[in-house]
Amino acid sequence: MSNKIRNLKTSILSDNWYTLKKVDFEFLQKNGEWQPQSREAYDRGNGATILLYNKAAQTVILTRQFRMPTYLNGNQSGFLIEACAGLLDKDNPEDCIRKEAEEETGYKITDVQKVFEAYMSPGSVTEILYFFTAEYTKDMKVSEGGGLEEETEHIEVLELPFSRALDMITTGEIMDAKTIMLLQHAAINHLLK
């Protein structure tokens, strides 16, 4: 616990889908005074995401799926193009992302490379996201993907030229932060060269 925080009190506001907590505490200011503060924190668990890429074909695998929060915030269709991702649940990040890649994209990958970890919205969400990359080839395709019916996932699998995916950031066709980060990581580190 930080020595700049005291009198931490947490109450649960909602425990319906994930957990929304109200946190009251005192924060030590630079002048030495303790200031009362209150925040809300949404705990949805930690997750993992992956960019599948094919050097020979110069392509990447992305997904398209409906995201209600984007619809509520003005995205007319509610659909986002994203890198494959999922919550860890009780898996470690590498096992999680292998499983999610197969469920969502239909590709069974084995060799994944962890590239970094990041808090995606640290002002309100507790989640740490683990970022991975992996090469794929056509012979790794074991199913159509699309997600799990019992998780009400309706995922469209997209195979796009890498250069087109990068352009889609500029055009606004790709607006998902984790996907932008992975595509830029691939570009900066010349993964497809």
Binding residues: 85, 100, 104, 153
The binding site for Mg(2+) comprises 85, 100, 104, 153
CA–CA separation, 66 and 79 (whole Å): 4
Distance of CA 144 to the CA centre of its chain: 22
Pairing between strand 128-135 and 47-54?
parallel
**Could you tell me how many helices (H) and strands (E) the chain has, helices first?**
4, 10
Contact between residue 145 and residue 103 where contact means Cβ atoms under 8 Å apart:
yes
CA–CA separation, 174 and 170 (whole Å): 8
